[in-house]
Chain A
Amino acid sequence: DTAVSQTPKYLVTQMGNDKSIKCEQNLGHDTMYWYKQDSKKFLKIMFSYNNKELIINETVPNRFSPKSPDKAHLNLHINSLELGDSAVYFCASSPTPSGGRKTQYFGPGTRLLVL
């Protein structure tokens, strides 16, 4: 009974390639997020979408492009991969309850290694 799922779980690729990571949530949430976690476990927000509309777009190289075909999906496409892109990428989702109090639910992560 998966809540937030990501594919693939592991991704090993060469520098310069283009790759995509997919995220789906079956929780009926309105908002989805992408985070990058580095080797020191530091979490950095990258993007957030609410009902398919981009609402958070942090300082991220424009090689990273999110796409939300519907509110249950938020995919991340990365062009011209670089060594520094190696990290764990987490998708998350949250509802929009009354009063605006949100809780995030995370996917299992995609471990990207760029060689």
Chain B
Amino acid sequence: GDSVTQMEGPVTLSEEAFLTINCTYTATGYPSLFWYVQYPGEGLQLLLKATKADDKGSNKGFEATYRKETTSFHLEKGSVQVSDSAVYFCALNTGNQFYFGTGTSLTVIP
């Protein structure tokens, strides 16, 4: 069945470090791919998305490219800030179903 696998956390980085959170997927057909972010005590917010192969989603300095050949949608940011500390979820949508990864907790220290 369809599924999403993302990098286990927690991840701890110093401010201004480079961030990569890996996400790979298994899906029949052509899913849409998403990254959601959950700040402490809040709900999930859509961070970025891509709906077809080679699309790049970007927002707030974060980027992810839909790679069909490697079935991946890795999240990257060139220089993280303390305010980026949160849990990040990779997700895919096919039809009526959404599948979420297990979440990766990121802590950025000054």
B and A form one assembly: yes
Q: Which residues of A contact B (CB under 8 A)?
A: 4, 31, 33, 40-43, 45, 48, 50, 55-56, 90, 92, 100-109
Contacts A41-B102, A43-B103, A45-B98 given; does A102 touch B46 at CB 8 Å: no
8 Å CB contact of B32 from A31, A41, A48, A103: A103
Is A56's CB under 8 angstroms from B96's CB? Answer: yes
Q: Does B105 contact A (CB under 8 A)?
A: yes
**Stretch of B59-67, B76-84, B87-95 with 4 or more beta carbons under 8 angstroms from chain A:** B87-95
Is A101's CB under 8 angstroms from B103's CB? Answer: no
Q: Does B28 contact A (CB under 8 A)?
A: no
> Closest A-chain residue to B98, C-beta based?
A104
Chain B binding surface SS class: strand
Is A50's CB under 8 angstroms from B96's CB? Answer: yes
Of the four ranges (under 10, 10 to 19, 20 to 34, 35 or more), the interface on chain B belongs to 20 to 34
Contacts A41-B105, A42-B102, A43-B100 given; does A103 touch B43 at CB 8 Å: no
Q: Which residues of B contact A (CB under 8 A)?
A: 32, 34, 36, 38, 42-46, 49, 51, 87, 89, 91, 93, 95-98, 100, 102-103, 105
Is A41's CB under 8 angstroms from B96's CB? Answer: no
Contacts A41-B105, A42-B103 given; does A109 touch B43 at CB 8 Å: yes
Is B32's CB under 8 angstroms from A108's CB? Answer: no
Q: Which residues of A contact B89 (CB under 8 A)?
A: 43
Q: Which residues of B contact A104 (CB under 8 A)?
A: 34, 46, 91, 93, 98
Kindly provide the distance from the CB of A10 to the nearest chain B CB, expressed in whole angstroms: 11
